[in-house]
Amino acid sequence: MEAMPLVDRYAPSPTADLHLGNLRTALAGWLLTRAAGGRWLMRVEDLDEARVRAASGAEARNLADLERLGLHWDGDVVRQSERLDLYRDAVASLPTYECFCTRREIAEAASAPHDGYRAYPGTCRSLTAAEREERRATRPPAIRVDSGGATFAVDDVHAGRVAGLVDDFVLVRGDGAFAYNLAVVVDDVEMGVDHITRGDDLLSSAPRQAWLTQQLGGSPATYAHIGLVVNEEGQRLAKRDGAVTLADLPHLSPGDVLAQLSDSLGLGPARTTEEALAAMPGDQRFFSGAVWREGGLAQP
């Protein structure tokens, strides 16, 4: 039976303009998808209402920047703010418990993390009904999934087989907002996503997300984690580093910017997405990061 074309997605958060690191990851995902004859979907992750309101117009600018570079997507734009019922139903289908811990309490109880993420030690899992009722009087609970101490492994086209512990991560925050790890998994399952291209800073979260995918009846995706763009100090690129968004680069045409992005991926200075696609290597391995120096991107 012939293999089905892969389905990938790009998922910007409209809380700021896309910087060159975001655009570089988008280009990598678009190229991997188009090279495989697949579908590249667009999802706007707009659950953080306060930050979205503070960045008025960011969604429109994000989508316009992608289109200016020739990164056109398939189908309609999906917005997380319009999918709350899906997240609510997913939470109801999972084993969960209330958690009243503060971040400080978790930090003090957990061992020092290797990747910036502190695994939850299960402090609130065994609270009695009376203890939960007492804590609700002073603090609204978050809702955590009860993972049962699972471990899970994912396949990454660059890193290979990656296994990790699945802790009891948050599904619903204490303020009632659905958590990132829940929403992205529900969306990927519902949208039929089977290939995920994103920054390699998210590699450590892949096992828990893939585990949740399976709990919700989906099949875990294959991942392609792309090296980040960093500044000259080795820190991930941010607005504070200067001219890093398209709006900051009015002297460059979309072709000029695309040429920098393509060249930083090792494909040469392609000025159109078609040229970049034609330059794709046979093994599609262009996963190293890049460095932003004043005036442009460069390979490390």
User: Percentage of the chain surpassing pLDDT 90?
Assistant: 76
Q: Would you say residue 177 lies in a domain?
A: no
The range of the structural domain enclosing residue 105 comes to 94-153+165-172
Q: Would you say residue 121 lies in a domain?
A: yes
**Whose CA is closest to 226, among 264, 253, 177?**
264
pLDDT at position 236: 84
Q: Would you say residue 234 lies in a domain?
A: yes
Mean residue pLDDT across the chain:
90
Q: Would you say residue 102 lies in a domain?
A: yes
- Say yes or no: 22 and 72 in one domain: yes
Number of structural domains found in the chain: 2
- Say yes or no: 236 and 271 in one domain: yes
pLDDT in tens, 80-118: 999 999 999 999 999 999 999 987 776 665 443 334 456
pLDDT at position 293: 82
Transcribe 124-141 into DSSP letters: TTT--HHHHHHHHTTSPP
- Say yes or no: 67 and 123 in one domain: no
Q: Would you say residue 76 lies in a domain?
A: yes
pLDDT at position 112: 36
pLDDT in tens, 273-287: 999 999 998 766 667
- Say yes or no: 118 and 64 in one domain: no
DSSP state of 176: S
- Say yes or no: 131 and 77 in one domain: no
Residue 53 binned pLDDT confidence (cut-offs 50, 70, 90): very high
User: Percentage of the chain surpassing pLDDT 70?
Assistant: 91
Residue 36 near residue 84, CB atoms below 8 Å: no
Q: Considering the entire predicted model, what is its pTM?
A: 0.91
pLDDT in tens, 203-231: 999 999 999 999 999 999 999 999 999 88
pLDDT at position 113: 37
Instruction: Give long-range contacts, CB 8 A cutoff, 24+ apart: 133-140.
Output: 135/98, 135/100, 136/98, 136/100, 139/100, 139/174, 140/174, 140/175, 140/176
pLDDT at position 115: 45
Q: Domain containing 107 — which CATH number?
A: 3.90.800.10
Q: Per mean pLDDT, which range of 150-159, 264-273, 288-297 is the poorest?
A: 288-297
Q: Would you say residue 279 lies in a domain?
A: yes
- Say yes or no: 100 and 133 in one domain: yes
Q: Write phi, then psi, for 169 (nearest 5 degrees).
A: -80, 160
Residue 25 near residue 49, CB atoms below 8 Å: no
Q: Would you say residue 257 lies in a domain?
A: yes
Residue 251 near residue 44, CB atoms below 8 Å: no
Q: Write phi, then psi, for 175 (nearest 5 degrees).
A: -85, 5
Identified catalytic residue from 139, 239, 285, 293: 239
Q: Would you say residue 124 lies in a domain?
A: yes
pLDDT in tens, 144-171: 999 999 999 999 988 899 999 999 999 9
239 is a catalytic site residue: yes
Q: Domain containing 74 — which CATH number?
A: 3.40.50.620
Top-ranked range on mean pLDDT: pick from 207-216, 232-241, 262-271: 207-216
Q: Which residue has the higher pLDDT, 286 or 292?
A: 292
- Say yes or no: 108 and 136 in one domain: yes
